[in-house]
A and B are shown apart, each in its own frame.
Chain A
Amino acid sequence: GQNIDQPTEMTATEGAIVQINCTYQTSGFNGLFWYQQHAGEAPTFLSYNVLDGLEEKGRFSSFLSRSKGYSYLLLKELQMKDSASYLCAAMDSNYQLIWGAGTKLIIKP
């Protein structure tokens, strides 16, 4: 079957770095997406990886290892506004997104 695993909740301190891991199993693979969702709002697109390696975009970076079925989202210089849920989604061979349940990130001052 198809499955996405990510931690339910993480806590980090303002100004620090946090890494949110995601493992996936899909029928075929056409890329890995990360979305941010603030409470009560719709998800917003953060990153897309289809090749192995690290993609950096400002304070956020995303890493992919296709052989391991593994990705992580790295957030640096954490700000209070980064408190949100982070959704990992893998695209299967039919270009359908398989969603994880999301990781709730709590930032403490």
Chain B
Amino acid sequence: GAVVSQHPSWVICKSGTSVKIECRSLDFQATTMFWYRQFPKQSLMLMATSNEGSKATYEQGVEKDKFLINHASLTLSTLTVTSAHPEDSSFYICSARDEGGGQVETQYFGPGTRLLVL
């Protein structure tokens, strides 16, 4: 149980285009999902907390108009990188909090999406 999927796993796009990444909790409902970014050999950096049915909460320094988050259902959150630039190239990882499982409040991660902006 507690499986989180992420799609796509790889994206290569041209500078200026927008990219949408989906995060799904497959076997549990997640009121809260998280979006992280990780640059090579660096630690996870929380970008935003996605709340079902309400606006996302962004971390300091993360542009909410550039990284659009939609959490329209209890199993799906999407992150759209708008007008992507080469500096946005990174490993984007989502996680979902299993609030009903045996392990309280455990976050389970999706496999990640590698974004390369040319």
Contacts and interface: CB of A to CB of B under 8 A. Distances in A.
Interface in B42-67: 42-44, 46, 49
B44 A43 contact: yes
Interface string B90-117: 0101000100000111111111100000
B58 to A, nearest CB: 13
Interface string A83-109: 000010001000111011110000000
A31 interface: yes
Interface residues of B, number: 21
A98 B44 CA distance: 10
Contact of B107 (A45, A50, A102): A45
Contact of A99 (B2, B43, B91): B43
A60 interface: no
Contact of B109 (A44, A48, A101, A102): A44
Contacts of A40: 91
B51 to A, nearest CB: 12
Contact of A42 (B42, B105, B109): B109
Top 6 nearest A-B pairs by Cβ distance?
A101-B43, A42-B109, A42-B112, A42-B93, A43-B109, A48-B103
13 contacts: A41-B112, A42-B111, A45-B106, A45-B108, A48-B103, A48-B104, A48-B106, A87-B43, A87-B44, A95-B97, A97-B34, A99-B44, A102-B43
